[in-house]
Structure 1
Amino acid sequence: MTVPQAEVTLDEFDVMDAAVPEGLHVELIDGRLLITPAPDGDHDENVRSVADQVRARHPGLHTYQARGLAVPARRTGRARVDGAVAPLGYFRGQPSWSDPSGVLLVVEVTSGREQDAEVDRTDKRDAYAQAGLPVYLLVDRHRGEVVVHWDPEGGRYRLRSEAVFGAKLALPEPFDFDLDTTELA
């Protein structure tokens, strides 16, 4: 759900983030407050599938789930990503809303609600590109596909590739392997 209003300040966001009931996540993307339900089991299994494959090929990398990133996009933002792939130990000593500069890949899985999926497809994609995050992987459960965006420049990802669930999806450097999407749903 997107709360219709003018740009939310970081101070206002911090108050809302501290007060949100358990079972809800609050994010600030491009100045807009987003409130989403906590992920369901299928959502978590999709992140796990990607994480297992990354770890099998790159043992020095770890996928941190539900990690808060301070996304310095056009407007200051806060994104609670489904998966942040970074070197093991990268987040040690960092605050709840961490510096994303060492994150190599962000994984998002669309929620169970179709109306929330467009945020992952466009708003978060654009915020991550503006923040210079090298690779953005979207598991789109509503469209039955996985989309990878990479090579951010000028606040946009220059390259994109997709595959339907069940097909292989080539991940770009520094991953450089074919993601098996047969477990995704």
Structure 2
Amino acid sequence: MTLSTDEGWRMPVEDFEELASVAPDGVRLEFVDGRVLTKDPLSVEDFEELERRAPETVWLEYANGKLEVKAPQDGTHSCIFMWLLRQCLHQRPDHALYGFSGIKTQAHRNGRARSDGAFARRGHFRGHGEWSDPEGILMALEITSRDHDTNQRARIDKPVGYAGTDIPVYLLVDRGNSTVTVYSEPKNGRYRQSSSYPWGATVEIPPPVSIVLDTEQLKKYAD
């Protein structure tokens, strides 16, 4: 892992070199200040082929026609996911929170998001491929990482991507400012409602999720 104390995680150059070496014909990559860029427009088909060939240490996403690299999870990230998983299973035992799910996003299903969690009925993803249609997913979850692209990806691109496919709720656990934000009521590619709560508050996630989160425990994960 490459980490800058000022700006957060950046992709190691060794990972970029391995990714570039397996890129499909016609996909030219460049490495600029810790970011992976494409020299030419990237189609969703080329993205999916690149993602299939990517090394196990590299997780890719595709938003607004741009290639993005998802930061690896650290220990705190994993603890927050398990905290939420336990609450979901306790209150909605007929559903599950599926970690690191690939979802087709944006208005025409031409985005690709690797969500930190997808809340759906038990067995929902059986028979699905690498990238699942969003129908049947009640909530998408993102937990911010110590990543220099977190603001653009988690707070701007992801709400648009998930709302564009009418996923009813987007839950953002924001480690940057110790808040939980609930986005709901998607319409015309935007969530009409969004409410932010400080860690420690009681957070009601509206139907069809219908879960109440006691976020007091999140205070232990402030860093």
TM-score range, shorter chain: over 0.9
1:132 to partner: Cα distance? 0.6
CA contact (8 A) 1:64 1:84 kept: yes
Letter matched to residue 25 of structure 1 = W
Q: Unpaired segments of 5 or more residues in structure 2?
A: 1-34
Give the corresponding residue for 1:86: 120
Give the corresponding residue for 2:68: 34
- State the identity as a percent: 35
Give the corresponding residue for 1:99: 133
Give the corresponding residue for 1:178: 212
Q: In structure 2, the residue corresponding to 1:3 is in which secondary structure?
A: strand
Q: In structure 1, the residue corresponding to 2:37 is in which secondary structure?
A: coil
Q: Deviations over 1:143-175 (max 9, x none)?
A: 110100001011110111111112111111123
Give the corresponding residue for 2:95: 61
Q: Deviations over 1:63-116 (max 9, x none)?
A: 000011112425601111000000000000011101110100001011122432
Of the three residues 10, 14, 21, the one matched with 2:44 is 10
Q: Unpaired segments of 5 or more residues in structure 1?
A: none
Query: Following the alignment from structure 1 to structure 2, what is the Cα–Cα distance between the partners of residues 47 and 144?
Result: 15
Query: Following the alignment from structure 1 to structure 2, what is the Cα–Cα distance between the partners of residues 154 and 50?
Result: 29
CA contact (8 A) 2:59 2:70 kept: yes
Which moves more between the two structures, 88-97 or 40-49?
40-49
Give the corresponding residue for 2:178: 144
Letter matched to residue 132 of structure 2 = S
Query: Following the alignment from structure 2 to structure 1, what is the Cα–Cα distance between the partners of residues 39 and 102?
Result: 23
Give the corresponding residue for 1:118: 152
Query: Following the alignment from structure 2 to structure 1, what is the Cα–Cα distance between the partners of residues 41 and 173?
Result: 28
Rg: which structure is higher? 2
Query: Following the alignment from structure 1 to structure 2, what is the Cα–Cα distance between the partners of residues 26 and 57?
Result: 32
Number of positions where the alignment pairs a residue of Structure 1 with one of Structure 2:
185
Letter matched to residue 76 of structure 2 = D
Q: Establish whether residue 70 from structure 1 lines up as the match of residue 104 from structure 2.
A: yes
1:22 to partner: Cα distance? 2.1
Letter matched to residue 166 of structure 2 = G
Give the corresponding residue for 2:161: 127
CA contact (8 A) 2:109 2:165 kept: no
Query: Following the alignment from structure 2 to structure 1, what is the Cα–Cα distance between the partners of residues 131 and 66?
Result: 17
Q: Deviations over 1:14-44 (max 9, x none)?
A: 2220232222210111211101232112112
Bigger RCO (CA 8 Å, 6+ sep): 1
Alignment of 1:15-26 (within 5 A): 15-26=49-60
CA contact (8 A) 1:110 1:116 kept: yes
